[in-house]
Amino acid sequence: EVQLVESGGGLVQPGGSLRLSCAASGFTFSSYWMSWVRQAPGKGLEWVANIKQDGSEKYYVDSVKGRFTISRDNAKNSLYLQMNSLRAEDTAVYYCARDLGDYGDYQDYWGQGTLVTVSS
């Protein structure tokens, strides 16, 4: 059974940093692109970033470029999102998701999410 478990969310002040983690199990983690997708309170889904199987390619939504960094550790079956210079508009539930497609174009399995709140 595919399982994705996020952790690391919490309350952080504007301008602060946070690192999210996602522990994957039930599939060969190193064979899949992986994504982070977020959902602001009461809003829709927004794709944030994804990373190739070997970490050699990474893509970001424009609003987080230069502030967020996606990474992975295939030996630990783990995905990460380093978030710096956080803003109020980054407040959201962040989901880890497994990707399909040639460039990780869409998601098939999702974790339960971790809430990030950016507020003073």
Partner 1 sequence: NFMLTQPHSVSESPGKTVTISCTRSSGSIASNYVQWYQQRPGSAPTTVIYEDNQRPSGVPDRFSGSIDSSSNSASLTISGLKTEDEADYYCQSYDSSNRRVFGGGTKLTVL
Instruction: Report the interface residues with partner 1, using CB under 8 A.
Output: 35, 37, 44-47, 50, 59, 95, 100-101, 103, 105-113
21 alpha-carbon distance from chain centroid? 8
Q: Which is nearer to partner 1, 77 or 109 (CB)?
A: 109
Q: Is 68 helix (H, G, I), strand (E, B) or coil?
A: strand
Q: Which is nearer to partner 1, 3 or 17 (CB)?
A: 3
Separation CA 48–CA 59 (nearest Å):
8
Beta-carbon neighbour count of residue 17 at 10 Å?
12
Q: Which is nearer to partner 1, 14 or 108 (CB)?
A: 108
Q: Nearest approach, Cβ of 75 to partner 1 (angstroms)?
A: 26
Amino acid at 55: G
Q: Nearest approach, Cβ of 47 to partner 1 (angstroms)?
A: 4
Radius of gyration of the chain (CA): 13
Q: Nearest approach, Cβ of 31 to partner 1 (angstroms)?
A: 17
Q: Is 32 helix (H, G, I), strand (E, B) or coil?
A: coil
Q: Nearest approach, Cβ of 16 to partner 1 (angstroms)?
A: 26
Q: Which is nearer to partner 1, 31 or 43 (CB)?
A: 43
Does residue 25 contact residue 18 with C-beta atoms inside 8 Å?
no
